């Protein structure tokens, strides 16, 4: 039986997403989709603007800016946007809301992977593992030395969380067995339910800076959080403190961070996210021994990335059917 394909919703997928999600889209029989056939290069903007013309649904990742220009190019058929990310700073939410476009995203399923990586990055930074392997490999390893490559330990420390959500809680749960003395956090308002799970105390931003031996940034990037980690914050931190960011680079004023690290205002920083991404190899932050930079891999486990692709596919399919999505952003 030939199906009249004109009634089947058209979808554009901006990236070769992991196989489980693609399989779901392919086998649903519910959509006809076109896909940018690479995971190594993002779809060029011009191509994207052409491809979205007239689509009913769009699956994207965080490298695509979903702004008025793109929504205009797509036109009025577009009803559902599904991003394979928990972050949504690449989306113009006001515009999506205005146009009545529903938005799916992928929270929760990546929390474990992101928390694991954050702990790994924290320990890598505080115990200077990158410097240490480099020294071992390149002949810097002389005799055993009493203060060589010393770092800072979690035992008896105060850990501060900037932006307490699911991920902040998951990080604290993992750090607790390292004998952390105290968890503190700040946010736009106290979050007693989450805080009680990890016995964390609500403090001001100033106190967070002053007290934290380890400060982990776990907030979303919004106009309110843009560059809140700046000179003002770093100047209040202890010079033995470690700064960790696995949220979004835009939360940090990078020049101020460079200053704080190079002047010894703070002891070290571990960053999984930067501005821009990729961070050019010539960037001054790469010259610092006390800055560990990862290429935005916090959610990068096979299990999690496949689960994200499945959730993104399901959100899209449910949205196109006019049903509640599994994880839908309230606009
Ligand atoms: C997200 O989902 O927003 C992360 O940055 C990538 O997994």
288 and 141 in a single domain? The answer is yes
- Whether residue 254 is contained in a domain is answered as yes
> Best substitution site from 42, 59, 85 to test ligand 1's pocket, by max atoms within 8 Å of Cβ?
85
Q: Identify the pLDDT of residue 4.
A: 74
DSSP 135-180: HHHHT---S--SSTT----STT-EEEEES-SHHHHHHHHHHGGGT-
**DSSP tag of 93:** H
pLDDT score for 3 = 66
The answer to whether residue 330 sits within a structural domain is no
**Contacts with 138 (C-beta within 8 Å, 6 or more apart), sequence order:** none
**How buried is residue 289: exposed, middle or buried, by Cβ count under 10 Å (0-12/13-18/19+)?**
exposed
Tell whether 54 is covered by a domain: yes
Q: What pLDDT shows up at residue 1?
A: 55
Instruction: Please report whether residue 119 resides in a domain.
Output: yes
For the chain, the average pLDDT equals: 97
The pLDDT of residue 2 is above 80: no
Give the residues surrounding ligand 1 with Cβ less than 6 Å away.
62, 85-87, 110, 299
Ligand 1 closest atom vs CA 106: 2
Is residue 153 one of the residues assigned to a domain? Answer: yes
Co-location of 210 and 138 in the same domain:
yes
120 and 258 housed in the same domain: yes
89-100 tens-digit pLDDT = 999 999 999 999
pLDDT(282) > 70 = yes
Question: At 6, is the pLDDT very low, low, confident or very high (cuts 50, 70, 90)?
Answer: confident
Domain count, the chain: 2
pLDDT band, residue 7 (cuts 50/70/90):
confident
Task: Examine residue 94 and state whether it is found in any structural domain, yes or no.
Answer: yes
- Residue 321: its pLDDT value, please? 97
Ligand 1 centroid to residue 219 C-alpha, Å: 12
pTM (predicted TM-score): 0.96
Question: Are residue 248 and residue 134 in the same domain, yes or no?
Answer: yes
pLDDT at 265 over 60: yes
Flag whether pLDDT at 68 surpasses 70: yes
| For range 250-256, the mean pLDDT | 98
Determine the distance separating the centroid of ligand 1 and the alpha carbon of 88, expressed in angstroms.
9
Place of tokens 């979903």: 66
The pLDDT of 217-244, averaged and rounded, is 98
Place 16 in a pLDDT band, splitting at 50, 70 and 90.
Answer: very high
Given a cut of 60, is residue 289 above it in pLDDT? Answer: yes
Going by pLDDT thresholds of 50, 70 and 90, the confidence category of residue 5 is confident
Find tokens 């070290």 and name the residue.
Answer: 268
- Same domain, yes or no, for 87 and 137? no
Residue 132, H or E segment: helix 129-138
Mean pLDDT of 35-54: 97
Ligand 1 centroid – CA 111 distance (Å): 10
Q: What CATH number is given to the structural domain containing 83?
A: 3.40.50.720
Structural domain includes residue 269: yes
Quick one: CA dihedral 254, 259, 265, 270, positive or negative? positive
Q: What is the ipTM of this complex?
A: 0.98
Q: Does 165 score more than 60 pLDDT?
A: yes
Same domain, 42 and 134: no
Q: What does the pLDDT read at residue 129? A: 98
Is 327 part of a structural domain of the chain?
A: no
Compute the average pLDDT of residues 22-31. Answer: 96
Stretch 52-73: mean pLDDT, rounded?
A: 98
Residues 127 and 245 in one domain: yes
Q: What is the residue with the minimal CA distance to atom 2 of ligand 1?
A: 85
Residues in the chain: 331
Q: Do residues 116 and 255 share a domain?
A: yes
Query: Do residues 73 and 49 share a domain?
Result: yes
Query: Is 90 assigned a catalytic role?
Result: no
**126 shares a domain with 70:** no
Q: Determine the average pLDDT of the residues in 119-147.
A: 98
The predicted pLDDT at position 234 comes to: 98
Question: What is the average per-residue pLDDT within 136-158?
Answer: 98
Task: Please give the helix or strand (H or E) that residue 68 lies within, else none.
Answer: helix 68-74
Check whether residue 22 and residue 103 sit in a common domain: yes
Q: What percent of the chain has pLDDT over 70?
A: 99
Q: 28 and 146: one domain?
A: no
Residue span of the structural domain in which 224 resides: 111-293
Percentage of the chain modeled with pLDDT above 90: 98
């Amino acid at each position: 039986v030939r199906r009249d394909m004109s009634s089947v919703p058209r979808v554009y997928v901006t990236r070769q997403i992991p196989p489980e999600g693609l399989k779901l889209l392919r086998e649903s029989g519910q959509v006809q989709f076109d896909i940018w056939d690479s995971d190594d290069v993002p779809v060029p903007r011009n191509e994207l603007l052409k491809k979205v013309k007239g689509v009913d649904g769009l699956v994207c990742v965080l490298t695509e800016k979903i702004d008025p220009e793109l929504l205009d190019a797509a036109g009025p058929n577009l009803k559902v946007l599904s991003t394979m990310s928990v972050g949504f700073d690449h989306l113009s939410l006001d515009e999506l809301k205005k146009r009545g476009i529903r938005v799916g995203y992928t929270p929760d399923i990546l929390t474990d992977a992101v928390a694991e990586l954050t702990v790994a990055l924290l320990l890598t930074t505080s115990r200077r593992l990158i410097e240490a392997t480099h020294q071992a490999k390149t002949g810097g390893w002389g005799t055993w030395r009493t203060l060589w490559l010393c770092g800072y330990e979690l035992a008896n420390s105060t850990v501060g969380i900037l932006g307490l959500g699911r991920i902040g809680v998951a990080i604290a749960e993992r750090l607790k067995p390292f004998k952390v003395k105290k968890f503190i956090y700040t946010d736009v308002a106290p979050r007693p339910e989450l805080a009680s799970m990890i016995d964390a105390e609500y403090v001001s931003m100033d106190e967070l800076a002053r007290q934290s031996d380890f400060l982990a940034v776990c907030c979303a990037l919004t106009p309110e959080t843009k560059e809140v980690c700046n000179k003002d914050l770093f100047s209040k931190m202890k010079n033995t403190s470690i700064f960790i960011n696995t949220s979004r680079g835009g939360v940090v004023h990078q020049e101020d961070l460079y200053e704080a690290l190079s002047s010894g205002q703070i002891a070290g920083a571990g960053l999984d996210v930067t501005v821009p991404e990729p961070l050019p190899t010539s960037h001054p932050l790469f010259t610092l021994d006390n800055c560990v930079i990862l290429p935005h891999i916090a959610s990068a486990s096979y299990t999690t990335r496949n689960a994200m692709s499945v959730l993104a596919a399901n959100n899209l399919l449910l949205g196109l059917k006019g049903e509640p999505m599994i994880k839908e952003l309230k606009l």
